[in-house]
Structure 1
Amino acid sequence: MTTDSSNGPLIPGDIPPEQSLIEYPSEFPIKVMGAMQDGFAEAIVTLIQEFDPNFHAGKMEMRPSRNGNYLGLTVTVYVTSREHLDSVYRALTSHPMVKVVL
């Protein structure tokens, strides 16, 4: 965690949009991890397409865990603003098949 000498610790969600290090619009990679189960990758593609209608599964990287229990996906999403990116993260983290979003 970083600190602001005048106001204490900075929480990522507390950083004002004008101080964002990301320029929008942008292609933004997001890592999504879930249990290795039928339909996981397809569910994530469907969810991402709600936010980026031009996204297709061919743009997604898939990596199974060493023991084959989990599947890691990297999706590169076209986002137009910080609010848009935040909405994608909220949708992914609230999806029942998703364990971790980075």
Structure 2
Amino acid sequence: MNSSASPLVFPCDFPIKAFGSGDDFVELVIELIGQHAPGLDTRGVRVQDSRNGRYRAVTVVVHAQSRPQLDAIYSSLSAHERVVMAL
């Protein structure tokens, strides 16, 4: 197996979690992911605040079509100054 091979079989539902802060952080994450996932279904978005309320964890399930699509989503999230971490 080469290093670029993915154990995922596409298309598939894939959860992406982003951590950050701000009153509009959920909308920001949805916007960033939606740029790479047309028709994104946001009904299942989960949000959890940290114990002290400083950060939010936003989980969005993407119906991923390919590994490059997921890579583009993670690149957009990681490049944004308000996203502390993306998993």
TM-score (norm 2): 0.89
Count, aligned residues: 86
Q: Alignment partner for residue 4 of structure 2, among 13, 16, 27?
A: 16
Secondary structure of the 1:87 match is helix
- Unpaired segments ≥5 residues, structure 1: 1-13
1:57 Cα deviation (Å)? 3.1
Residue 62 of structure 2 is matched in structure 1 by 77
- Unpaired segments ≥5 residues, structure 2: none
Which amino acid counterpart does residue 91 of structure 1 have in structure 2?
S
1:27 Cα deviation (Å)? 1.1
Q: In the aligned structure 1, how far is the partner of 2:59 from the partner of 2:37?
A: 15
Query: What do you get for the CA RMSD once the two structures are aligned?
Result: 1.4
Secondary structure of the 1:57 match is coil
More helix by share: 1
Residue 26 of structure 1 is matched in structure 2 by 12
Identity %: 35
Residue 40 of structure 1 is matched in structure 2 by 25
After TM superposition, the structure 1 = structure 2 runs for residues 40-79 of structure 1, keeping only pairs within 5 Å, are 40-79=25-64
Any runs of at least 4 consecutive aligned residues in structure 1 with deviations exceeding 3 A, and if so which?
Answer: none
Which amino acid counterpart does residue 55 of structure 1 have in structure 2?
L
- Max radius of gyration: which structure? 1
